[in-house]
Structure 1
């Protein structure tokens, strides 16, 4: 069963706020909990990693390359069907060492047992 874009946004937007806050404050336990145990993260045309712990570890390691950073999103579109909600959005990393890095990402969030978690996260810079 599909849902309206507005309904999908009403469910996922507050979770996205929590996700961004966790990234921006280095709350790695929360970041890991927001990725499904079988999640994948794909940098389009470059690399892929599997699992919530590996993905969280990659965010931790970014500090060495970027220094402190903040993630911002804009122009977000939400879509939902069944147990899945997708977000398509522009993002920017405002970094201490490398300036502003911009790109787009698509995430597919899956509802399992009443909790949404990122199953697929694909981005390009």
Structure 2
């Protein structure tokens, strides 16, 4: 199993555990360089099955051709 398949599998399990969810972002910051976008924010997710989950995240997107792909995704959950 590739690491991408393993990551997708774990995210799918987490989605099933949470159920339907809505997310609100706060304190968003965006930084852009010629080939990268860095996004940081806080989040609060209200889920159908496990209640409210909150934390913060940082994502780095790298330019690939005419689009951007996630290069790094880091988050913490309270």
- State TM-score, norm by structure 1: 0.54
The structure-2 alpha-carbon separation of the partners of 1:84 and 1:95, relative to structure 1 and needing over 3 Å to count, comes to same
TM-score normalised according to structure 2 size: 0.81
CA–CA distance in 2 between the matches of 1:80 and 1:111?
A: 11
Instruction: Show the 5 A alignment for 1:82-121.
Output: 82-121=34-73
Structure 1 gaps, min length 5: 1-49
1:82 deviates by 2.5
Would you tell me which structure has more helix in proportion to its own residues? 1
Say how many residue pairs are matched: 75
Runs of 4+ in 1 over 4 A off after TM superposition: none
> Which runs of no fewer than 5 residues in structure 2 stay unpaired?
none
Larger RCO (alpha carbons 8 Å, 6+ apart): 1
CA distance in 1, matches of 2:63, 2:47: 32
